[in-house]
Homo-oligomer: A and B are copies of this chain.
Amino acid sequence: MTQRGLDLDDIVERALGGQRRAVGRLLSVAERGGAEADRLTAALHGRSARAHIVGITGPPGSGKSTLVGRLTAAAAASGANPAVLAVDPSSPLTGGAILGDRIRIDRTGGDVFVRSIATRGHAGGLAVAVPGAIRVLDATGFDPIIIETVGVGQVEVDIAAMADTTVVVANPGTGDAVQANKAGLLEIADIFVVNKADLPEAEALRLDLERMLDLSHVTGHEAYRGRRAPIVLTESLSGTGIDELWTEIIDHRSLLDASNARQLRQLLRLRAEVEALVAGRIHRLTRAVFDSSAGERALADLASGRIDPVAAAEIILDEGTASLGS
């Protein structure tokens, strides 16, 4: 076993023993991906405590961060040990590592573990990095794990869909209800939050959401077509409605447990993670073929117009197949 191998086992042990700095280092390993992340996955195998995963999504400026801060405080007050994964699509990446082992402990005065993951430039890697980070937090005793994302693109919808319970936040007077509908958030929402409920347009937004739920036949994850997503009015600044939101999340968790639906979602998540791992490995193999002499020849022929892109792709794929098979 290599020196790095010993290091990783050591960090795992310390993280499982409750050292938060070690947890942060494992999160960095998971986010970077690659061989060490694979070893981490193996090391944590069988350690899952099956934490409840709560996805919270909404447009920029909807006050999600404050809301999440309030929610974790409510969770901690009820005896839970919450952690937050904040997935930010607009923060740039620096090199391969994602915000290193920068761990923000708390936003609310309480003792809550908050980890940021920047998605820009992460491409498909997020589909591996987020489950990896969840596995670390789950194994080290955090529950619930709250994934906070900005709901503007397909990636964010996909990440919200990794959750057991998905909360969609909308703001009064912004057309958020229509946007949420267009972006497909209506279909993944288990709970709606009308934040900034003190604004005069809050009631109109609630009615808009009710109307869309009336029209929609699908609300919430596929297993609960019969359930109608509740709408909770909150004011994250004052804390109004936060306890009700936490209660709705707990209720949804109970519903999932009663129907075995959490196991089903866990399985779908594992399958999606395997798909992303396979895709990542194949991507690396393909890159290698591109850089081979055969790949360079095909690209030169493409540049000169001797062959078209489809022909170039076939040549490179044949070459890759040959090298894979050997």
Residues in A lying within 8 Å of B, measured CB to CB: 38, 41-42, 45-46, 89-92, 119-121, 123-124, 131, 152-155, 179, 182-184, 267, 270-271, 273-275, 277-279, 281-283, 286, 290, 298-299, 302-303, 305, 307-313, 316-317, 320-322, 324-326
Q: How many copies does the complex hold?
A: 2
Query: CA A283 – CA B275 in complex, angstroms?
Result: 9
Residues of B within 8 A of A273 (CB): 309
Query: CA A281 – CA B131 in complex, angstroms?
Result: 25
Contact (Cβ within 8 A) B154 A120: yes
Residues of B within 8 A of A153 (CB): 89, 152-155
Q: Given contacts A152-B152, A286-B279, A325-B324, are A299 and B316 in contact (CB under 8 A)? A: no
Contact (Cβ within 8 A) B325 A321: yes
In the A-B complex, the 10 residue pairs with the closest CB atoms: A325-B325, A153-B153, A277-B313, A45-B308, A90-B182, A38-B310, A152-B152, A321-B324, A274-B312, A273-B309
Which residue of B120, B152, B179, B277 is within 8 Å of A184 (Cβ)?
B120
Q: Given contacts A121-B154, A182-B91, A310-B41, are A278 and B274 in contact (CB under 8 A)? A: no
Contact (Cβ within 8 A) B309 A274: yes
